[in-house]
Amino acid sequence: MKQLKSTYQDLRNLFEHEIKIKHIAERLKCCNYEVESSKLRQEMEDLDFDVMGVEKEGEVKGYVKRLELGVGPVKNHQKSFFPPELIEETAPMLTAFSALYDVQQKFVTHKNRVIGIITRGDLQKAPVRMWLFGLITLLEMHLLRIIRNHFPNDSWKIHLSNGRIRIAEELFSLRKKRNEAIDMADCLQFCDKRDLILEIPEINEFMKTHWENSEKSPLKSAEQLRDKLAHAQDIVIGSTWPEVIDLVKNIERLLEFFEKRE
């Protein structure tokens, strides 16, 4: 079998240097600062916008929140931009995770001028999904590599139920008929790899040290996230954005740990 060549840092370098905030951000929709607040509020409700930029003489001067619009012109409810609310469009896309951890949106700048907005909803876009799927794919590749090294000659079978082994054997038989150059370990499902990896004392100890509650294990959560990504489902179904962002950090920690075992 060919050895694993991709690394976590290779993957991260690609997304840090090539894919930027501007690739997932949206242009900030704006209104004139003299517009009547009640009219704008209705427009924002129709568009399902929570915030909108405010322009004066063609330049974005601030923003308003739909739920805070009262009476009178929009300028009466305008908020100024503060540095913590801003993110440069050329910043790496990966910075969006930490930037949106505890806020709903950031305003995107170009040459110190606000031009766009990025929200948690933008973390559902294809570039972000590519990053997440890449992380989980790399994680699964490491699981398989470690299993092959630790359990030679299919010795992992003693740790799985007959039912799980039968599923792997059926897939292995099917692939052999197609003359595909694989071993039976390559026919294991993610859940099998997850269970087998925990049979290795060093890894089991590492997992217990960092994630005492098995329900919070990044291996279990990574499998659930992978299924959502594979089926183009909402990433945060059954969880929250902070939980997803924490999971990404934990997968990165696992990858670094696994790569040290090479």
pLDDT digits (tens, 9 = 90+) for 99-135: 999 999 999 999 999 999 999 999 999 999 999 999 9
What is the Cα–Cα distance from 1 to 149, expressed in whole angstroms? 12
Residue 3, pLDDT score: 53
Confidence of residue 1 (pLDDT cuts 50, 70, 90): very low
Q: Which domains does the chain have, with CATH numbers?
A: 20-119 (3.10.580.10), 126-259 (no CATH)
Residue 217, pLDDT score: 78
Q: Which residue has the higher pLDDT, 213 or 83?
A: 83
* Residues of the chain above pLDDT 90, percent: 80
pLDDT digits (tens, 9 = 90+) for 239-259: 999 999 999 999 999 999 998
Cβ atoms 100, 118 nearer than 8 A:
yes
What is the Cα–Cα distance from 146 to 237, expressed in whole angstroms? 31
What is the Cα–Cα distance from 34 to 60, expressed in whole angstroms? 13
Task: Return the H-helix or E-strand segment holding 61.
Answer: strand 59-65
Cβ atoms 82, 62 nearer than 8 A:
no
Q: Which residues contact 121 (CB under 8 A, 6 or more apart)?
A: none
- pLDDT for residue 76 is more than 50: yes
- pLDDT for residue 5 is more than 90: no
In one-letter notation, the amino acid at residue 254 is L
HSE-CB for 150 with a 13 A CA cutoff: 21
Please tell me the pTM assigned to this model.
0.87
Q: What is the mean pLDDT of residues 131-160?
A: 94
From 4, 73, 1, select the one nearest 32 (Cα to Cα). 73
